[in-house]
Structure 1
Amino acid sequence: MDVDNETSEKLASITSISNQRERITAYLSLLSAILSPSPTTSSDLITFGRHFTTSTSMATVVGRRVLGAYVTALCAGTTLPRTGTAALSLDEEGSSDVEKWDAIGKEAFNGTKGEEVRRDVVEGVLGQGGISGWCDEQITVLRHLHSHLLQLEEDWLGAAKALMQIPLEGTSRLISDEEKLAVYMKIVRLLLECGEWGQAQTYFSRASLLIHTTTDKETNLSFKLSQARLFDFSARFNEAAQRYHEVSFESAIDEEDRMQMLKAAVTTSILAPAGPQRSRILATLNRDDRVHTALHPSLSTMLRKMLLEYIVRPEEVKEFEEGLEEHQKAKVEGGGTVLERAVREHNVGACGKVYDNVSFEALGAILELDAEAAETTARRMIEQGRLRAWIDQPLHLLYFESRTTHDTDADAQGTAGGLGVVKEEKEIEPVSWTERWDDRIRATSIKVETIAETIQQRGLIPTVPVS
């Protein structure tokens, strides 16, 4: 007769005991016998655990007491934090035996194969289905233990999936919003660790509905950091930079980790689409002394170039790209990586600081694109309100509409020969090209009329008598 069948027979014989106290004692004696000496295989412990978790006729008092001791022994000797939904509530007698079963469990899983047997037992109990509803609390602790063991092996996705199996809604057990939030945030962190940001976003959305229920600093900090990373993964780099920079000031984080957050803030601000929002973030980061003293010089140099709208050279782009994470090197629509698009758009704006107008062929040479692609890039920026410029398509020219310096001569100010017709600066709105063309024709006609009236008033053109 094999040991597994022997254990099953012993469990069956104990079930026939009518007195509950005697039955509890018999179950606990059998559990102690299986754990001492250290088990070399998991089969007996799996059989014992499944006897309770799959039973639909188990007396609740007996089941909770014995399964509580079983779970306590399995968790013994691990670094699993026994808080929140990972904490096991025991009756008065069970609580008095916690130290005893903790000691037995430590001894049982202390051998060379101890951790392997522990994991096999947990997976064997949880992995075969058919679990009864009366033991939700004990099963929840086992799922936390399973996730913890997988994390030690750096199986982040497996650890997250173990926590996903925990029933937080519609169970007989009352779970507080704060405990639900803690589980959701653990899942989010694990999914982000393995790059599954799509699933992470789902659980983060659930957590965001509960974040107001907690005052725990660690949970709030974890929420902010997860939000920053999700923005980063989803290429919302402006928002990511703001969140990373906020987190970099948190004194609860180690200095080294704060510098990592600051580095991430600078990196994502550089990857953000060119425009007013990014300029504000760049200016904020540039005022942070830590950027220039604690980070690599190449990062602060790139930051200043982006802020001051200097043209960025290919060799500088290559050096910066070496420090990017894999998802930040993703290809984007229109060709190139996220960084290449960000630098191209930045260089288009930087050209406006140097030139009044530029041909698309020359702009393409600066951006390392053909003329058509350069025009597409500029047109997209204008449509999105991120570039003050207009396009002369017949001449294939891009005209920039704003300057950083205000010259005093008439030509630079956009006046017509000192006649007082001043060029008006208007915000560029994302309207259709036809409407914009009509507006320009209308504005030009008004200027021509104004110039003609001024000439007549000043008598600059002598009147020729008609003969």
Structure 2
Amino acid sequence: MEVDSDIDDKLSEIASFPNQRDRTTSYLDLLKSLLSSKPSPTPLIAYGRHFILSSSMATVVGRRVLGAFVAALCAGSGMDKVESLTSSDVEEGAGDEEHWERLGKAAFEGEKGAEIRKEVVDGVLSDGARGGWCDEQVTALRHLQSYLLQLEEDWVGAARVLMQIPLEGGSRLISDEEKLRVYMKIVRLCLESGESGLAQNYFSRASLLIHTTKDKETQLAYKLSQARIFDYSARFNEAAQRYHELSFDGAIDEDDRMHMLKAAVTTSILAPAGPQRSRTLASLNRDDRVITSLPAHLPTMLKKMLLEYIVRAEEVKEFEAGLEEHQRATVEGGGTVLERAVREHNVGACGKVYDNVSFDALGTILDLDSDAAEATARRMIEQGRLRAWIDQPLHLLYFESRSTHDTDAEAQGTAGGLGVEREEKDVEPVSWTERWDDRIRATSMQVEAIASTIQSRGLIAV
């Protein structure tokens, strides 16, 4: 039977049959002949597009025949069955599903079988493919196309194929579980390719549906994706906490848990210096697995960060060798994320050694000039991550006594015990100089308020 030369004529002839049963039988016989002979992409593409592009196809005929076509294409690909393609689309009047799977496996096995399968799927879904009455079958083909792209490690392409699946407002009712699975696949693929912005977009959609599932695998994928998004977004404190939580989950393979524990240690070290990071470092330091299961330089670096010892350049270099690409990103003010984290840590570590330090000496420790060292210390003071104050005329950084500050419980949040509340301001996205000026202005206003309170209480004579 010559099918390559006149496939369009045969399809048109069958479409003109008045009886739906005759049309169904003839379409399936033609599909069987295409699969039984040595398959060629061109007639199979024409066959699939004949249904997908049709706006007048009888649904009862089209869904059954296209269901058999999709089942044959998916057979032997290695992809799990897609739930959106129900078995009734193949079984009712189209023959046994296993029959089409056997034909599909036989047709696409061999040296070039996988290549032909991909060419057919790409051709059927090329520009102009629309769903409508065959949304379920098109969805199954898009899942297959995405899977085949993943085998080629084209993560972005695989994600974009899944994005074309109509999950809202289509012709079929889609469960929240299915939507969630598709969203999480897209998130995973985007993260694999480093497209953290797209991943965040679809993760937000998944967040609205995660409460609808009790599937353990989906819940774990959600938590891991959340940790990775925090990681990519440089929210290292949150990432370290999520990674550490996942490293205890017995449902995850032991090697994967150790990988997450390593990620937890790495992100905790990259996190900005401050009380929150100190708590995370302390939690990881109490985990015996950090010492027994991770490379020696990681627990060493972790302990130095926790105990606020000054970190040396050679230790930074060894740690930096294990960072991922996004963790080497440059930050405001110059330098990488790691360089900023270590510099800020070393500023805090100086507070355990010195009562005060000149900015020239601090710059030597941080491998910065004195102005950059002052800017680093000023930023940490502004953000409440360093208890210190700056004497600008003398170019000195004075560290506050922690024990005195911590035990003065009554003075917390007030100024001089007079009930003037200390206002914690969010850091605005402006230059450090503008932020510093703004803080000075706010402090001056507080001083005036305190003076007014003292005067109103008659504590001093006017």
TM-score band, normalised by the shorter chain?
Answer: 0.7 to 0.9
- Structure 1 residues 181-202: Cα deviation after superposition (integer angstroms, max 9, x where no partner): 0000000000100101111110
Deviations 1:412-435 (A, max 9, x none): xxxxxxxxxxxxxx9996672255
Distance 1:369 1:303 in 2: 23
2:435 aligns with none
- AA aligned opposite 1:368: D
> How far apart are the structure 2 equivalents of 1:61 and 1:438?
77
**Following TM superposition, by how much is the alpha carbon of 1:113 offset from its aligned partner in structure 2, in angstroms?**
1.2
1:278-331 CA-partner distances (Å, limit 9, x unpaired): 000000000000001100110000000000000000010001000000100011
Question: Structure 1 length normalisation: TM-score?
Answer: 0.87
Deviations 1:356-405 (A, max 9, x none): 11111111110011111000000000000000000011111101002469
Q: 1:132 to 1:437 in 2, by over 3 A?
A: closer
Note closer, same or farther for the CA distance 1:48–1:127 as it changes in structure 2 (3 Å cut).
Answer: same
**How far apart are residue 29 of structure 1 and its match?**
0.5
Is the Cα contact below 8 Å between 1:140 and 1:166 reproduced in 2?
yes
Question: Which residue in 2 is equivalent to 1:423?
Answer: none
User: Is 1:203 aligned to 2:210, yes or no?
Assistant: no
Structure 2 CA distance for aligned equivalents of residues 132 and 264 of structure 1: 42
Cα shift at 1:253: 1.0
CA distance in 1 between counterparts of 2:254 and 2:357 reads 47
Distance 1:89 1:343 in 2: 61
Structure 1 segment 22-101 matched on structure 2, within 5 A: 22-39=22-39, 41-85=40-84, 89-90=88-89, 92-94=91-93, 96-101=95-100
Quickly say closer, same or farther: Cα 1:168–1:439, change in 2 above 3 A.
closer
Gapped regions of structure 1 (runs ≥ 5) = 407-425, 444-467
Q: How much is the aligned-residue C-alpha RMSD, in angstroms?
A: 2.3
| TM superposition shift of 1:92 | 4.9
* 2:20 matched residue in structure 1: 20
Identity %: 70
Which position in structure 2 is the counterpart of 1:257?
A: 256
Matches within 5 A, 1:321-332: 321-332=320-331
| 1:167 has 2:166 as partner | yes
User: Do 1:352 and 1:403's aligned partners in 2 also have CA atoms closer than 8 Å?
Assistant: no
SS class of match (2:172)? coil
Q: Which position in structure 2 is the counterpart of 1:126?
A: 125
Residue of structure 1 in register with 2:432 after alignment: none
2:428 maps to none
TM-score (norm 2): 0.88
**What pairs with 1:128-143 in structure 2 (closer than 5 Å)?**
128-143=127-142
Q: What is the CA–CA distance in structure 2 between the aligned matches of 1:356 and 1:270, rounded to whole Å? A: 25
Q: Which has the larger radius of gyration?
A: 1
Show the counterpart of 2:358: 359
Structure 2: how far apart are the matches of 1:132 and 1:13?
Answer: 23
Local SS of the residue matching 2:6: helix
Question: 1:115-174 CA distances to partner (integer Å, 9 max, x unpaired)?
Answer: 111001100010131424111000000000000111111111111111111000101111
Q: What amino acid is aligned across from residue 31 of structure 2 in structure 1?
A: L
Structure 1 position 111, deviation (Å): 1.9
Residue 433 of structure 1 aligns with which residue?
A: 440
SS state of the match for residue 311, structure 2?
Answer: coil
Q: Which SS does the other structure have where 2:89 is aligned?
A: coil
The aligned residue for residue 453 of structure 2 is none
The one-character-per-residue Cα deviations of 1:219-264 (angstroms, maximum 9, x if unpaired) are 0000000000000001000000000001111111111110000000
C-alpha spacing 1:315/1:91, structure 2 compared with 1 (3 Å): closer
Tell me the equivalent position of 1:223: 222
Q: How many residues align?
A: 424
